Structure 1
């Protein structure tokens, strides 16, 4: 078996994510016959079928599912290698720090800058969708993250916890309450993944929840809360940072506090990362 071709892997990931050769070809800006040939060539090189194709559509095989998981990580690593090489070529020290909404990271950033006056420190705001991806692909050297996360390939250091609250519209039946229990919210629609609020499973009682829309930001989620379309659980720091007159938050007495952690790629070693991690933990 020869070395894997990163270009073919990118083509495969596009098809695997779209499950449609035509849409994947459009996304890659190549002709569909070319894409089909590249996927067949990859299957021949690996000696396995990656897709099952029939009149109903295209589905991943078990081998395809496994390759998709591994290919994403491999492509992220390849991008990280390129970014680090470019930074090294610049000849100047730099550190890129990621942070989730509601988190204030000024203190450790200032402390590191004071110790290294010539250091270029960049800040990148992340989201639930990319807070880990930016670590794997090299866009961020070290990041403040909010679990749940997949720790594979990462070093993770817990920093502190903070209360989580539920956000409701000001017209909600519970608005104005000093505190609620999660059972009080059983009749509401949860506007986020149950993975983020595992306590919700006890409220849902095993019933199937409606699909959660793909919100790209906290602001989008709050628009839906304000419109009365559902509720959302957020860390207290996020709720207070995004204060608005048509949304209110209520403490929830029986859910666990949210964790804030520091994470960086396990294969990244360097004094700047170690130093910043120590400053963030102070």
Structure 2
């Protein structure tokens, strides 16, 4: 078998993700006939069928599903290699930190200040993006480290847990539930989250594997029909909170975020059977950057020194640093390869 080419993989991934040759061709900026020929040639080269084609639909075969996962990883690795080579060749190297604005547990300023005093520190460039974009930024080389929530599946990543804090539900102050002291997920029946999913299901399962993240970004409301007034771009928090005020949606937020967005029209309540949010610092397993290791140390040091309990004037929840993590991975506990 001849070696596969990057072009073939790009063509196949586009068709496999769109499951439609016309849309895939448009996405690639090419005509449909040569794309169809290229996929047939790829199947002939591999000796297996990658797609099931009918007059109505295109579907992946088991072989196609395997190739899709591997092809995505290969394309990510190629993209990351190019970006990291460019970054390494810059006259003034920087550490690129991916995060969603406000998702830092209130620690970012302290972390940056602590990091700046390390002899291995570089200037920090913030790579801001919507929720869920932080892991992809590590995979494709846009970022060297990231602050993110709940790295459930950290395939290809190492991480340190920094801070565990409650999720609160944001409701319109006029919502009948707002009069309660606390809720359970079942109480939220009939209410909708920004992505269109039922609120009683809780926050969407967050997997940061390459495949899961790409699936979520390409189809953020898979399995759900958005209702009028929902927001598929969950990066615009002021817009989301405005819709909460109007009783169009509800949303889950870490308690540290709610403290920054106190509004008389929004009630923030604890949900007794909802798992907490865990803030973590993550980086590629292949990283051996002293600057990344220094940033991880700074983040762990600041989190370990944070107050164990911080009272908020709108609820009785607490911020609780996860002291089971600290700087353990950098001391050989088993997570870290950044050093």
Whether 1:74 and 2:77 are equivalent positions in the alignment is: no
**Other-structure match for 1:56:** 56
Call closer, same or farther: CA 1:243–1:20 in 2, change over 3 Å. Answer: farther
TM-superposed CA distance for 1:117, in Å, is 9.4
**Other-structure match for 1:43:** 43
Q: In 2, distance between residues paired with 1:108 and 1:265? A: 19
Unaligned runs of 5+ in 2: 206-222, 302-339
Q: In 2, distance between residues paired with 1:195 and 1:46? A: 43
- Higher alpha-carbon deviation: 110-119 or 32-41: 110-119
Whether 1:217 and 2:224 are equivalent positions in the alignment is: no
| C-alpha distance after superposition, 1:162-212 (max 9, x if no partner) | 1110011222111243322223223433445657356xxxxxxxxxx8435
**Other-structure match for 1:247:** 266
Q: Could you state the TM-score of these two structures normalised by the residue count of structure 2?
A: 0.73
Matched residue pairs, number?
272
Whether 1:279 and 2:279 are equivalent positions in the alignment is: no
2:192 aligned to which of 162, 173, 189: 189
Unaligned runs of 5+ in 1: 199-208
1:165 aligned to which of 165, 168, 175: 168
Whether 1:4 and 2:4 are equivalent positions in the alignment is: yes
SS of the residue 2:177 aligns to = coil
Call closer, same or farther: CA 1:80–1:210 in 2, change over 3 Å. Answer: closer
TM-superposed CA distance for 1:218, in Å, is 4.2
2:143 aligned to which of 120, 140, 144: 140
Aligned-residue Cα RMSD (Å) equals 2.4
TM-superposed CA distance for 1:114, in Å, is 3.5
Q: Judge conservation of contact 1:100–1:146 (CA < 8 Å) in 2.
A: no
Whether 1:268 and 2:274 are equivalent positions in the alignment is: no
Q: In 2, distance between residues paired with 1:132 and 1:117? A: 24
Q: Judge conservation of contact 1:95–1:121 (CA < 8 Å) in 2.
A: yes
TM-superposed CA distance for 1:6, in Å, is 1.2
